[in-house]
C-alpha cells in the first residue's frame, strides 16, 4: 500500500516543482517587460529634461537680449516684445523640466506590478505546500 502512495506523492512533488519553475520563468519575463517599460519612461523623461534645458537656455538668452534692448531704448516696442518671448520660452522650459523629472522619479520606475504578482505567487505556493 505504501508503494502506491509514494508514486502519487512523487508525482505531486514533481508537478509542484515544474509549476514553480514555470512560474519563476513567467515572473522573470514579466520583470524584464516591466523594466523595459520603466527604461522607456526614463528615456522619454530624459528627452523632456533636455528639451526643457534647451528652452530655458534659449529663454535666458532672449531675456538677456530683451533686457539689453529695453535698457538701451527705454521701453521701445522691440525690447518689450523680446522680453515677452523670453518669458514664454522660459515658462515652457520650466514646464518641460517638471514633467521630465516627474517621469524619472524612482516611484515611477519601480516594478510595482511584478512585486505584487510575486507576493500573490508566494501566497499561492504557501497554500499549495500546506
Going from N- to C-terminal start, the domains of the chain cover 2-129
**pLDDT per residue as tens, the chain (130 positions):** 444 555 677 787 788 788 888 888 888 888 888 888 888 888 888 899 999 999 988 988 888 787 767 767 766 677 777 777 778 878 988 999 998 888 887 776 667 777 777 788 778 777 776 6
Supply the DSSP symbol for 111.
-
The pLDDT of residue 2 is 47
**Beta carbons within 10 angstroms of residue 77's beta carbon:** 9
Cα separations in angstroms, 87 against 56, 65, 66, 76: 10, 12, 10, 17
**Beta carbons within 10 angstroms of residue 100's beta carbon:** 20
The pLDDT of residue 50 is 92
Amino acid at each position: 500500500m505504501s508503494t502506491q502512495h509514494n508514486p502519487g506523492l512523487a508525482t505531486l512533488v514533481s508537478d509542484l516543482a515544474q509549476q514553480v519553475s514555470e512560474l519563476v520563468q513567467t515572473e522573470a519575463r514579466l520583470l524584464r517587460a516591466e523594466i523595459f517599460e520603466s527604461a522607456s519612461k526614463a528615456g522619454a523623461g530624459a528627452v523632456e529634461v533636455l528639451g526643457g534645458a534647451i528652452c530655458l537656455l534659449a529663454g535666458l538668452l532672449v531675456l538677456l537680449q530683451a533686457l539689453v534692448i529695453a535698457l538701451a531704448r527705454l521701453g521701445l516696442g522691440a525690447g518689450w516684445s523680446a522680453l515677452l518671448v523670453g518669458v514664454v520660452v522660459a515658462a515652457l522650459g520650466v514646464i518641460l523640466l517638471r514633467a521630465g523629472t516627474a517621469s524619472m522619479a524612482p516611484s515611477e520606475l519601480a516594478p510595482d506590478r511584478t512585486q505584487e504578482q510575486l507576493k500573490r505567487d508566494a501566497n499561492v505556493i504557501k497554500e499549495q505546500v500546506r
